[in-house]
Structure 1
């Protein structure tokens, strides 16, 4: 196991594919936002890519390791140290019982991931160890890590090769301030007029500080709506962005009045706002690393192109992206 000395900011246990099959009861999939960095961290320590690991947001934790093994830190640069000495990211690190791993504030990106050989072994809740904070399920007691908690780990392999992620196979996080985010039109793009659609795809959208794992809130220009949004039955509501409650896809660009909110891992499954565009899963890693005041620019893609992006990302989250040290 490891012991939590300082918890950081909403540091949580996450797992893939998350909590599947319970959205109609109010439980979203949860899981890591940046699956690219998450899966590579697991591969570096000899785990299956989807094993439970730690997601850190903006400020990382300080942890005391209670057994020998291997760890890896990927994603945002939180300047990790091991016993006070700088520790390399994106590579397998051999550790001893009693050593202290510390992550600070994110210098680049927003979310870092810590994987442990053997994976985190908290009890699954509704089929997953992923933490869903709003309902208090999964992870460690259902919430972010707290000081003095002891987090169990699964059996570690006898040996793990020391490897690193090839430079060209890592997500480009760095000091990115402007992100291109792919989006698929629909399901409610016909509620915007042509000018509204052109405006969305041509504009800069600023990430608001009050974004979280439920949604990425954006600030930008005003939307314009189609005839359908103005001449609708009363059960759809008064505002042009209102619609009779219907299902929300994961990644939906949910238009609450004039505020677009990209619904991510802990988002609700239904509601009464339109969703003119949907961000595909292969672009979520960028949403997970975008910081407040970063700029998002949207690029329309087809469903087929979104599926190709997902297949390409899955291929990069494999042992082929690693090299021996």
Structure 2
């Protein structure tokens, strides 16, 4: 078990791929913001890649272990400490009853850590997932972020703790973190010439957009588009602004919603439908990068991608979480 001493900025129980199959009922998939970090944290402690772990956003989380176990920390390269000593990241580490883990602030790159624990986090699945949707207050641990006094139970480890200790991710598989994140994306469904100009779409795929401070797990807001982006003077029957359309379903996760002049990436807990145009969709294999983008600091740049390339990238990503990547 783990007793929370400080909940930090936002610490959640998340799994992957989250709560699928309920977009039609208005329920977002939730799940880990960075599925690569989660997948490797689980692999190192002997769990399946999608098992529930702790997602620590921006830091300042502190907890005490109430039992011996094995953990792995991945994500932003600012190591937490156990009993005041830095934890080796991207490898499995044995911890003992009474040990205290503490996350301070984020590193020079990245925004989230993942704390994988042998056996995973033992919470009751809700609609097939242990992930937390904080905007709906369901799933995870009581449908909310963790706070002091919370006690989390662990599942049963897949192997003896001694066999899980000291496993390291090979250096070539550790993800590269940046301050400008290139996201491969497919245009549409609302693009040129009906909704955006050719010049506007060219701007979208060549400009570097700063992530705004108002970003969260539902949406990553980017700096505003120029008026020349739009091919219409208004939204017609959809509304007065050219970004307005008749309500339609959003392609969650990864749709770039254009709300007024503001491009908004709809991610884990985002809305499932609405009345704004969507100009492109970030491919599934690059969604993890959004989760490591730091609001008010980092930049996002879109790179044109085909459907065939997107499918292959997703297949390639699933091959990462195997024993061959560990020493």
Q: Under TM normalisation by the shorter chain, which class is it?
A: over 0.9
TM-score under structure 1 length normalisation: 0.94
Distance 2:225 2:244 in 1: 18
Aligned to 1:42: 42
| Cα RMSD (Å) | 1.4
How many pairs align?
A: 319
Question: Structure 1 residue 26: deviation in Å?
Answer: 2.2
Aligned pairs for 1:273-292 (under 5 A) are 273-292=276-295
Q: Say if 2:169 is the partner of 1:165.
A: yes
Distance 2:225 2:48 in 1: 43
Instruction: Pick one of 244, 253, 257 that aligns with 1:254.
Output: 257
Distance 1:80 1:225 in 2: 44
Rate the CA distance shift 1:232–1:118 in 2: closer, same or farther, 3 A.
Answer: closer
Distance 2:240 2:224 in 1: 22
Aligned to 2:100: 100
Aligned to 1:10: 10
Instruction: Pick one of 186, 189, 204 that aligns with 1:187.
Output: 189
Q: Say if 2:59 is the partner of 1:59.
A: yes
CA contact (8 A) 2:34 2:292 kept: yes
Per-residue CA distance 1:169-211 (angstroms, 9 max, x = gap) = 01111xx221211111111113111111111112121100110
Aligned to 2:29: 29
**What secondary structure is seen at the aligned counterpart in 2 of 1:304?**
helix
Aligned to 1:71: 71
Aligned to 1:297: 301
Distance 1:179 1:150 in 2: 36
Distance 1:13 1:78 in 2: 20
**What secondary structure is seen at the aligned counterpart in 1 of 2:221?**
strand
Instruction: Pick one of 272, 275, 283 that aligns with 2:275.
Output: 272
Question: Structure 1 residue 223: deviation in Å?
Answer: 4.4
TM-score under structure 2 length normalisation: 0.94
Long gaps (5+) in structure 1: none
Long gaps (5+) in structure 2: none
Rate the CA distance shift 1:62–1:231 in 2: closer, same or farther, 3 A.
Answer: closer
Aligned to 1:125: 126
